[in-house]
Amino acid sequence: MEENARPPQEEGQQDIQQDLSQEDRQEKQRGKLVEFLLNILRGAAIGVAFIIPGFSGGSVAAILGIYERLVSSVADLLKHFKSSILFLLPILLGLVLGVAALIWPIQWGLQHFPIPTVSLFVGLALGGLPSVTEKVRGGMPKWTHILALLVPLAFAVSLCFLPTASQPDGFLLHLSFGGYLLLILIGVVGSCALVVPGISGSMLLLIFGYYTPLVQLLTGHLLKGLDVGVSLLVFLCAGIGVVAGFFGISVLMKLLLKKFPRGTFFAIIGFIVGSIPAVYVSVIRSTGVSMLKDPWYIVAAVALLLLGVALSLCLVFFAKRRFCPRGEKN
């Protein structure tokens, strides 16, 4: 009999441990796949928020509970390249897919049923707001926290009352060199929507008169194969500005979240809450109030608002149940 032979009991225990470790690996792989797919959906939601005037992709990221990680991944891209890319890639993929797939139906809804359309997204924002407010729990707020809440709230509301510039039709197809440089700056401004919750990039683009021309260039030219070279150059310049602003503002937001986490989330809540009346005011200003005289129109808006709240609450509940560590579930 060999001296190193193991008793059958030890061999059985080792086999059980190997089976358990294999199950753990499979469970981790399934969890990574689910997380990847969910991040695609989160990215699509951020992209949709960028399309709708008055909404912010940063608000959606905060409501979905990925804002801090999103900012850190962007700010630390060069420092932690692999982990940052693995997190950002599905979000960017979802953002592109969300814009490409939903820009036409959302534009159609905003054109024919603007208030019910935005009411659905307002409901989604309201339903997800508790996931942000829980970040500021823990004792009475200081006066600086109240100020951090009120100033962004007032700023977000005031955006919709600013006069909007108008640009001639098709001017993006005939830009000068200075016009392309200005597009880069416009991209930096638009990047605020992706990083700062409650600041709508589409609203800012509306104020500067670039929102409608960019949408028309995308849907009426680029996606139809018309003026492809010029259209790509326009979106390339805007994209350079978006990327530059995205990184710069992310570094700033990461610093604020590290130094003043509670005050920063009070400011985020102020931006989100202030953007809700702003989106209604901007829609009414652009479409008029004649539709509000139809009672069924109001009923549809309220129904979609409640539907949005219910959907958002369900998504937040599912996310917490799905990703709550074992032993912490209620």
- Summarize the confidence of residues 150-169 as an average pLDDT: 77
Answer whether 0.85 is exceeded by the pTM. Answer: no
Cα–Cα nearest to 74, from 259, 316, 257, 262: 257
Per-residue pLDDT at 329:
43
Which has more pLDDT, 324 or 165? 165
Which has more pLDDT, 50 or 149? 149
Q: What percent of the chain has pLDDT over 90?
A: 2
- The predicted-structure confidence for 46-74, as pLDDT tens digits, reads as follows 887 777 766 677 777 777 778 888 888 88
- On the question of pLDDT at 297 being above 50, the answer is yes
- On the question of pLDDT at 294 being above 50, the answer is yes
- On the question of pLDDT at 81 being above 60, the answer is yes
- Distance between CA 279 and CA 188 in Å, rounded? 22
Confidence of residue 200 (pLDDT cuts 50, 70, 90): low
Judge whether 242 and 188 are in contact, CB under 8 Å: yes
The full set of domain ranges for the chain reads: 28-323
Judge whether 52 and 98 are in contact, CB under 8 Å: no
